[in-house]
Amino acid sequence: MIPLAVFVVLASFLSVSSMTPPLARAEGTACESRGFDLATCDQYFLDDLRKRGVPFTDPGAAIRIGHGTADYLTQHPTMKGITAIANRLIKDNSNVNFTVQNAVNFIKVSAHYYGPPGLEEQLEAAAS
């Protein structure tokens, strides 16, 4: 079981209103909408994870999980959705001591590169 501190930390970084409607994925990723091809977006995603100290051993798996995280949050942009993803990331990566901060950073980076345009801003606006 994840301690209450996980939920408090996540709430302070990524508080999202349950009243926020999901965004459509049809327009591609936010990174692509800024004019980059998907391969470049993948490289930027991995570089950003490294800069933030988020551990991963398989770049392909990190990319797939990043897309899955953004897709899930597009459909569930709520605190419950964020908490579910964070808990899953921590549980599935316990062998590399994946921390709450790693989960928060992974979620932020995934939304930034792989969410539809507007997802990152939607999550940030809801957190303030």
DSSP letter string over 42-80? HHHHHHHHHHTT---S-HHHHHHHHHHHHHHHHH--SHH
Indicate whether this model's pTM tops 0.85.
Answer: no
Can you tell me the distance from the alpha carbon of 9 to that of 50, in angstroms, rounded to the nearest whole number?
Answer: 21
Q: Answer yes or no: are the C-beta atoms of 123 and 73 closer than 8 Å.
A: yes
| Average pLDDT across the chain, whole number | 79
Can you tell me the distance from the alpha carbon of 115 to that of 104, in angstroms, rounded to the nearest whole number?
Answer: 15
Domain boundaries, the chain: 66-128
pLDDT digits (tens, 9 = 90+) for 6-53: 433 443 344 333 333 333 333 578 888 888 888 999 999 999 999 999
pLDDT at 128 over 90: no
- Can you tell me the mean pLDDT for 85-100? 90
Can you tell me the distance from the alpha carbon of 81 to that of 124, in angstroms, rounded to the nearest whole number?
Answer: 15
